[in-house]
Amino acid sequence: MDEKTRTQVGWPQDPREGLEAVVALRRMLEALEAAQVENAFVAGWSWARIAEVLGVSKQAVHKKHARRIRERYPGEPPGRKGEDA
Amino acid sequence: MRFIRLADTSRKSVEAAFEEARTLGHDSVGDDDLLLGILRADEGIGAAALTSLGVTLEEAREESEGMLSDALSSIGISFEEIRRQAGDAFEMRLPPGRRLPLSPRGKKVLVDARKEVRRLGDDYLGTEHVLLGILGTQGGTAVRLLAGMGVSPEVVEERLYQFRRQAAG
């Protein structure tokens, strides 16, 4: 892969720019995870099922997301039918 | 060693910086967040100097998001597109209950602020000292953020000292 191709596929030549892209991506990853977990929850997915697809323990996903989502959806959200739907 | 009093204005600004970092999804409080904190708390000579130069919290936040967006587009990712696709559930804000540390640059700003207090012979640490610490951080995110808004560290410093003289009467 020559320099030109690298630039085209998104490889910044300035190392600072590249490192900052990693930080930005990490921030966006967190936001995306929160949004996708929330979508799954609203669609009626159980914590166990969400955790399985994410490849983490049910405890981990619950600890990270439950409080935020409960605050956002006091009571059962629409479309959600029981913990193991 | 002389006792340095932490002014209410700077305490509020630092608290506001933590809140700003949380809102923007930062996992630590950096020099850029400390700058946003001064604007958010909107108190003291630091805030007055920035405001008088037309630097507003809203624009600074936009600039910060613009820098995030630029960083992502440098590796071929469109922040706007992802946000649009993800819909309402997508927000950068951190979940409640997560404690944020100061970043190394954030720490350095506060250490430098104390040095500024001694250098100027003051007996309190105000937002002007925090701002001087921010402006002195070479290659820092806050300085670049200000540059993006067309404001140089020199101009802010000059305005800051002018406001100090006025406050001293």
Q: Where are the domains of chain A?
A: 14-72
- Taking CB atoms and an 8 Å limit, are B94 and A30 in contact across chains? yes
Inform me whether the C-beta atom of residue A34 falls under 8 Å from chain B C-beta atoms.
yes
Q: Domain A14-72, what architecture?
A: Orthogonal Bundle (1.10)
- Partner-chain residue, chosen from B69, B91, B96, that has the shortest CB–CB distance to A31: B91
Dihedral of alpha carbons B121, B55, B156, A15, sign = positive
Residues B63 and B147 sit within 8 Å (Cβ to Cβ): no
Nearest CA in chain B to A19: B71
ipTM attached to this prediction: 0.82
The CATH number for B61's domain is 1.10.1780.10
Q: Which domain holds residue B18?
A: 5-168
Q: Which of A5-9, A65-69, B117-121 has maximum average pLDDT?
A: B117-121
* C-alpha to C-alpha distance for B130 and B117, rounded to whole angstroms: 9
Please determine, for residue B120, whether its predicted confidence score (pLDDT) is greater than 80. yes
Residue A84's pLDDT band, with cuts at 50, 70 and 90, is very low
Q: Is the pLDDT of residue B9 over 60?
A: yes
Lowest-confidence range among A19-28, B52-61, B86-95, B139-148?
B86-95
Q: Fill in the amino acid letter for A61.
A: V
Which residues make beta-bridge pairs with B102?
Answer: B29
What is the total count of domains within chain B? 1
Please state the rounded mean pLDDT for residues A14-20: 88
